[in-house]
Amino acid sequence: MTTKDPCISVCQFDGKSGWCRGCARTLEEVRKWRKMQPHGRKSIERELPRRLQRLAARDAT
């Protein structure tokens, strides 16, 4: 079974939030992704669009 990974190979972490600028996960979430339960991954996946919007808004200011 292949685990869907939101990584887009950018891997630059924001110093303030700790989120990756490419996929919006934290370093800890990236490290644990493959071993997470499906419901844990889904929970994070639902948050990613909001995180990316916040990063973009912060970069725009």
| Residue pLDDT, tens place only, 1-59 | 456 899 999 999 999 999 999 999 999 999 999 999 999 999 999 999 999 999 999 88
Q: How far is it, in rounded angstroms, from Cα 24 to Cα 54?
A: 10
Task: Give me the pLDDT at residue 59, please.
Answer: 87
The model's pTM is 0.89
Q: Are 51 and 59 in contact (CB under 8 A)?
A: no
CB atoms < 10 A from the CB of 23, how many?
Answer: 21
Q: Are 43 and 25 in contact (CB under 8 A)?
A: no
Residue 13, classed as helix, strand or coil, is strand
